Amino acid sequence: MEAKLSFFVHLVRYARGRSPWLFHLNCGGCNGCDIEFLACLTPRYDVEQLGIRLEGSPRHADILCVSGPVTRNTQAALQTIYAQMPAPKVVVAIGSCPASGNVFADSPSVVGPLEKFIPVDVYVPGCPPRPNAILEGIANAIEQLKTKPVTGIGGKSHA
Amino acid sequence: MSYTIPIGPYHPALEEPYKLELECEGENVREAHLQIGFNFRAIELIAQSRNIIQNIALFERVCGICSNVHTLTYCLALENLLGIEPSLRAQYIRVIVAELERLHSHILWAGAAAHILGFQTLFMTCFRLREVVMDLLETISGNRVNYAMNAIGGVNRDLTDPQTIRDGVRQIQKAVEGQLLPIFTNDPTVRARCAGVGILTKANAIAWGAVGPTARASGVAQDIRQAQPYLVYDRFEFSVPVQESGDVLARILVRALEMVESCQIIEQALEQMPSGQWKGQLFVELPPGEAVARIEAPRGEVFYYIASDGSEKPLRVKVRTPSFVNMPTVRLMLKGATLADAPLIQASIDPCYSCTDR
Amino acid sequence: MPSWFALLIFPGFLYAVPMGWLMLWLERKILARLQSRIGPPFYQPFFDFIKLMTKEPLRRASGEDIFYLLLPLLALGATVGSLTLLPILPSSASAVGDLVLFVALVEVAPICLVLLGFLSRSIFGQVGAIREATLTIATNLPFITALIALAYASGSLRLMEIASNAPLATRAIALLALLFCLPIKLRLNPFSVANAEQEIYQGALTELDGWRLGLWELTHAVEWVALSGLIASLAVPWRSGQAILDAILFALLSLVLVVVLTVIAGATARLKLLQASRFYWRWGFGLALLALVVSLFL
Amino acid sequence: MSIWEILAENLRQGVVTLRYPQRVPPPARYRGLVQIELEDCVGCASCAYVCVSAAIHVTEERETFCWSYDPAKCTFCGRCVDACPTSALQMQAECPPIYHCAGALAVTYTRAYPRCEGCGKPFKVATQILRQRAYTEVSGEVETLLRLCPVCRQKEAIKSMVEARRIKEATR
């Protein structure tokens, strides 16, 4: 029984590591990180080589990629979308903006940084980071995703 | 059955948060409401609390796609206020970077349009081509998106390798003429989606004050680079592509032809570029007064106004971006269109919400 | 051949599920190669499935989950059921009128998807459901007409007899018409409006998460096998008699169809709902009608 | 080219993707983390003046000054490097590393002011680069003077002035 369970847990962890789906969220950034994120999908970088798919619905996603300093108007949507993602989930903050607010830190309409609202697992520094750095950040997030607890269909948790 | 379908603020087709509420009748759009402001970062306000050198980097982050446009216009306005003129070589470098940025912006847009059309292969083709421009810009400036090239009275980095740029630009011109133009104009599925969709008439384009490629696709021949040349644009031979039909296809064509013109401007600039001083200077104070500058960004006219009271910080910086004036035309184009056309039509003006919201 | 073998082993679950995953992977991989990309690693859909099944889904109203569980399972069962009717092996169970049964079973999955879209109560799900329903109707006219042409030409409603008796001309035209219908049934470009990501998120699937989505992905994989299998099994008139050889030929033919469909999907933009319907009513139906006329006069 | 030709061309060319973790190396001008050569820093805070996102702070204590830099706030614009009068700042031509909690990459360097050779009090000293810029030739006498704090330098100047006057009066 124990051996079967551990095989199951290993399989799930392995599958998670090979099938992370992304959802991308721009929290009021300048587009710079977003176009570099988009560039990750394209032939030169191709995130699909890591088994990644960019999803249109947060309900399908495992990794939330956030760019932008979190403006007053996007904050509610950010929290809703994070809540809509089923566990296990990890958050990647792309660029300086979600980490600190960057040049907008003292703006009255910026409420960030991101970690005030949702837990952040990986920071990718840069303004904007190169696509290969974003890939590295996502690969790092995948490693974190694997370590999250495994729950069976019955909802039981296997550490 | 009538229903309201919200597109955004977070939507797979859009890079930026904004909301388009479509009142639909079946698949047909009856009315469209646009809601912006998700990107509002109060840049104009925080610019008043920063000194003029800090503001160069701040305005670069108004928009990540046309970052160079904003610093260029800001620096031009500052130079007008200071009454100085950058050296000739600096002006040529600025032109080359500005045109490379136009190339990158238009290719990005073509890719985004293909993405919205659901044409993944074309999207990938465009983005593969875009990497050529990005590599050039990264080699020149040290960053793929925020180039930090402009300084007051000059540029921050010299162009050291004109041959690489020439090769890259030729490769882009060949690909635009050989791949993008024929597919966008001849491919049956693309034509079926773009031709005759989202028409903006010339009268409407003028009445609603459209600028840039959106206006030029509706037959309004207007380009600041020719109407009121800045930098050294009066030294180049180039034409301004104009289309009459005013539909999505026309806007695609205008941008594709503009890319070819940009390639030619860059080649001419590399040919003519003199040697000499290029470095900017560190100004810490402005004379009291006001100044404006306007240039032709990839999306249309960008306008900057600066007022100073003689201190190190500007009293007011006002930015007017092209997307802001182009956006209301989307409502005209959307009426009577189908739901499937809506994302394409709104994307066809190449809207930049982070520019607009600031 | 006992029917439990057909249902559970070949061409049922044991064959259909891995084959469906292989097809989904092949589709993504070929598309990637056509775009000069690497594409997903081998057996990607299998890992996607395992991952989706073990996610912690968000809590829904208690009555809803029964639908999220039953509808995909119903669709899955019906699609596997339709697969067992295909005349792959000489020994395949073939009953009178199994063509009609096949059509009925293959339609269960789209209907379930439409229901899922409506049940999700999301506007995107509902628009996706409406689009799916419209397309199903648009494509069924040529689909059924082509099958009628085949049945008429071979004088039987038995799939096995159609496979062995249909005359070449009718068979070719009718199968082409059937091939026309596949992109819409598998929601591929240029007829993927029903799940047009750029317009309505994931259409009917927008609100599904975790195992609710995983079950549907599984159904979708089996749909690939069943629909490409229909054409693959009707394309070749002779059977070797060797069960293994026939099965391999069938599998290979199905994979060739995946390649063809993927290349078409990679070379086209997405058409609008009206354009897609018009295409089917005009060209798809025209072709199927031609097959019918040919079968009447030859 | 039609789309079919492009597809065929893509197939013929094969995969252009860089297999992760392969990558295009950053160009020589790449703007990565800002690095300081503490020896050359004079603590003038020009970098902090031009920094738009307050990533660089220079704080002065009585005996030391601190130069602190937080890459999480940095916009990587390179203004600080251009503004540095002594070229003490450089940008790494390498992507900054991924990190896991905010502020993990922040650095603070503290430099003690050298002590005056006369009175022993700490004072801001001109670095080699500044000295060379100010004086075409740094003579031994200037070198000795620069090792003194401004107060001692004044004293020294008065002393030499008194001395000069004494010699002048003696020779008269």
The distance of Cα C263 from the centroid of its chain, to the nearest Å, equals 17
Please tell me the distance from the alpha carbon of residue C166 to that of residue C101, in angstroms, as a whole number. Answer: 19
Count of CB atoms within 10 A of residue C170's CB? Answer: 25
Tell me whether residue A154 is in a domain: no
In a domain, D75, yes or no: yes
> Angle B254-B257-B258 (CA atoms, 0-180°, nearest 5)?
80
User: Is the Cβ–Cβ distance between A159 and A149 less than 8 Å?
Assistant: yes
Question: For residue A158, what pLDDT is reported?
Answer: 46
- Is the confidence at residue D44, as pLDDT, over 50? yes
B12 and chain C in contact, CB less than 8 A: yes
Q: Residue A159 above 50 pLDDT?
A: no
Domain that holds residue D58: 26-112
Quick one: closest CA in D to A140, which residue?
A: D98
Check whether residue D53 and residue D104 sit in a common domain: yes
Same domain (yes/no): D102, D154? no
CATH class of the B41-353 domain in this structure: mainly alpha
Q: Considering chain B, what percentage of its residues have pLDDT values greater than 70?
A: 98
pLDDT at A155 over 50: no
* Residue D83 contacts A where some CB pair is shorter than 8 Å: no
Q: Which chains touch D (3 or more CB pairs under 8 A)?
A: A, B, C
pLDDT tens per residue across span B212-261: 888 898 888 888 888 888 888 888 888 888 888 888 888 888 998 999 99
Distance from CA of C27 to the nearest CA of D (A): 15
Mean per-residue pLDDT, A81-106:
87
Q: Which residues contact D16 (CB under 8 A, 6 or more apart)?
A: A43, A44, B128, C36, C37
Q: Which residue of A has its CA nearest to B13?
A: A56
Please give the structure tokens belonging to residue D156.
């020294």
For residues A117-141, average pLDDT: 89
Residue A7 placed within a domain: no
Least confident of B202-211, C38-47, D132-141, D160-169: D132-141
pLDDT winner (highest mean) among A92-101, B190-199, C7-16: A92-101
Q: Residue D9: closest CA among chain C residues belongs to which residue?
A: C34
Average pLDDT over residues D84-89: 83
Which residues in chain A have Cβ-Cβ distances shorter than 8 Å to B46? 103-104, 106-107
CB distance A153–C51 less than 8 Å? no
Q: What is the mean pLDDT of residues B276-294?
A: 83
Q: How far is residue B140's CA from residue B132's CA, in Å, rounded to a whole number?
A: 13
Tell if the CB–CB gap between C199 and B13 is shorter than 8 Å: yes
- Tally of domains in chain A: 1
Which domain, by its residues, includes C280?
A: 3-297
Q: Mind listing the pLDDT tens digit for each residue in B307-329?
A: 988 888 888 889 988 888 888 88
Please compute, for residue D26, the number of CA atoms within 13 A of its CA located in the half-sphere on the CB side. Answer: 21
Nearest to D1 among B60, B142, B178 (CB): B178
String of b and e for C69-85 (b: at least 16 CB within 10 Å)?
eebbebbbbbbbbbbbb
- Across the interface, whether the CB atoms of B53 and D76 are under 8 A apart is answered no
Expressed in angstroms, the distance from the first to the final Cα of chain C is 35
**What confidence score (pLDDT) does residue A92 get?**
92
ipTM summary value: 0.83
Give the closest-approach CA distance of C272 to chain B in angstroms. Answer: 6
SS3 C174: helix
Helix (H) or strand (E) holding C247: helix C243-266
Distance CA C35, CA C46 (A): 23
Query: For chain B, what is the mean pLDDT?
Result: 86
Interface of D with B in 44-63 (CB under 8 A): 49-53
Cβ distance of A57 and C207 shorter than 8 Å: yes
* Interface check B187 vs C, CB under 8 A: yes
Bridge-based pairing of strands A90-94 and B150-151 is unpaired
Helices (H), C35-122: 44-53, 65-84, 98-106, 108-119
The reported pLDDT for the residue numbered C107 is 87
Task: Answer whether A46 sits within 8 Å of C58, measured CB to CB.
Answer: no
Q: What CATH code is carried by the domain that includes residue A33? A: 3.40.50.12280
A6 lies in some domain: no
- All partners of chain A with 3 or more CB pairs under 8 angstroms: B, C, D
Does the pLDDT of residue A153 top 70, yes or no?
Answer: no
Let me know if residue A95 belongs to a domain: yes
D105 interfaces chain B, CB cutoff of 8 Å: no
**A79/chain B closest Cα distance in angstroms:** 13
**Are D78 and B54 an interchain contact pair (Cβ–Cβ within 8 Å)?**
no
Burial of C237 (0-12, 13-18, 19+ CB in 10 A): middle
Task: Tell me the average pLDDT across B205-217.
Answer: 88
D52/B183 Cβ within 8 A = no
Domain end, chosen from D112, D133, D148, is at D112
Q: Which of D82, D97, D112 is the last residue of a domain?
A: D112
Q: Work out whether strand A53-54 and strand A21-26 pair parallel, antiparallel, or are unpaired.
A: parallel
Per-residue pLDDT of chain C (298 residues; tens, 9 = 90+): 567 766 777 777 788 888 889 998 998 899 888 888 888 888 888 888 888 888 877 777 667 777 778 888 888 888 888 888 887 776 665 666 678 888 888 888 888 888 888 887 777 777 788 888 888 888 888 888 888 888 888 877 777 777 777 777 788 888 888 888 888 888 877 777 666 666 666 666 777 777 788 888 888 888 888 888 888 888 877 777 777 888 888 888 889 989 998 988 888 888 887 788 888 888 888 888 888 888 777 6
**Using CB atoms, which residue from A43, A51, A84 is nearest to C44?**
A51
Q: Are B310 and B286 in contact (CB under 8 A)?
A: yes
pLDDT in tens, B98-111: 999 999 999 988 88
Does the pLDDT at position D35 exceed 80?
yes
B189 contacts C269? CB cut-off 8 A: yes
Q: What is the pLDDT of residue B12?
A: 62
- Boundary of a domain, candidates D95, D112, D129: D112
Judge contact between D79 and D52, C-beta under 8 A. yes
DSSP string, B75-140: HHHHHHHHT----HHHHHHHHHHHHHHHHHHHHHHHHHHHHHTT-HHHHHHHHHHHHHHHHHHHHH
Asked if B193 and B115 touch (Cβ cutoff 8 Å), the reply is: no
Tell me: cis bond preceding A129? Omega within 30 of 0 counts.
no
Which tens digits make up the pLDDT trace of D88-126? 888 888 888 888 887 788 888 887 777 777 777 777 776
Lateral strand order in the sheet of B28-35: B2-7, B19-25, B28-35
In a domain, D7, yes or no: no
Distance of residue D19 Cα from the nearest chain C Cα, in angstroms: 8
CB contact under 8 A, B121 and C266: yes
Q: Which residues of B touch D26 (CB under 8 A)?
A: 138
